[in-house]
Amino acid sequence: MTWVSRYCQWMARPKNQSQRREALVSAALEAAGSKGLQSLSMTDIARRAGLTRGAILYYYDDMDALLTEAHRAGIERFCDRRDALVEGIGSPRAQLAVAIREGLPSGPDDALMRLLYEFDVLSGTSTVHRDLVRTMYDRQLRTYRAILERGAAAGEFAPLIPLETFAMNLVALEDAYGLHIVAGNDRITVGIAEEAMHRAAEGLGAAPGQSE
């Protein structure tokens, strides 16, 4: 079988198109995490996916379309995973501890988190990416706000400021510390950032408990 025949056969199975799109998105995230958005090319993604550049263009019109989908997938992986972990915990104090821990990068080599920060830069030049950055912010805000609301209702928290403002402050700290971590600032380690967020929350009336 020639490469042309194999290519046509590969394209001729529409029932697998969603799987192939997911595979291409994963390849884009991996390649971008390794090379960074600024130097990323379609060839890099094709190589990572084990395909030709033309095969990728069958599914996505251009690089921006693929990166937009990768950005959306990255948000889902980050936010969905954290929300699932939080929902599996009963105590709001423990939920807050887990939300803080999972919202920070695992370290300077956290490729997905570094990539999401890089996407933030694109928000200034792309309406689509700006909307996606806003979507991620809304997800972060909703996670913290829901935990604070549950804690206040259960009597575990006694917030000293409005819950919306409290949640906004936690998101701001999460983003600021996370950026320093992925940038390799050795003055702000994951442990230091996590402890600082705990103390900030405690000072405003919502002390995180021991995470499960």
Same domain, 92 and 15: no
CB distance 172 to 140 below 8 Å: no
191 Cβ contact partners less than 8 Å away, ≥ 6 residues apart: none
Question: Domain span at residue 49?
Answer: 1-60
Tracing tokens 């935990």 back to the chain, one arrives at 147
**CB contact at 8 A, 92 and 156:** yes
The DSSP line for 59-121 is H-SSHHHHHHHHHHHHHHHHHHHHHHHHHT---HHHHHHHHHHHHS-SSTT-HHHHHHHHHHH
Report which DSSP code applies to 183. Answer: T
Whether the model clears a pTM of 0.85, i.e. scores above it, the answer is no
Q: What is the pLDDT of residues 65-104, one digit of tens each?
A: 888 888 888 888 889 999 999 999 989 999 999 999 999 9
Residues 29, 171, 100: CA angle, nearest 5 degrees: 80
Angle formed at CA 21 by CA 18 and CA 27, multiple of 5 degrees: 145
Say if residue 44 is in the same domain as residue 74.
no
Query: Which of 60, 89, 105 lies at the terminal end of a domain, its last residue?
Result: 60
Q: Are residues 126 and 166 in the same domain?
A: yes
Crossing angle of helices 92-103 and 127-154, rounded to 10°: 150
- Note whether 50 and 71 are same-domain residues: no
* CATH code, 23: 1.10.10.60
Estimate the crossing angle of helix 163-182 against helix 111-122, to 10 degrees.
110
How many structural domains are present in the chain?
2
Q: Are residues 6 and 83 in the same domain?
A: no
Statement to judge: residues 106 and 132 lie in one domain = yes
Residue 73 and residue 42: Cα distance in Å, rounded?
A: 18
- Are 100 and 129 in the same domain? yes
> Residue 132: which CATH number?
1.10.357.10
- Note whether 50 and 69 are same-domain residues: no
Higher-pLDDT residue of 155, 20: 155
pLDDT(3) > 60: no
Nearest to 40 by CA among 81, 72, 3, 71: 71
Do 32 and 111 lie in one domain? The reply is: no
pLDDT (tens digit per residue) in 125-166: 667 778 888 888 999 999 999 999 999 999 999 999 999 999
Same domain? 29 vs 109: no
Question: Do 39 and 82 share a domain, yes or no?
Answer: no
pLDDT tens profile 171-187? 999 999 999 999 999 99
- Looking at the fold, whether 89 and 176 belong to one and the same domain comes out as yes
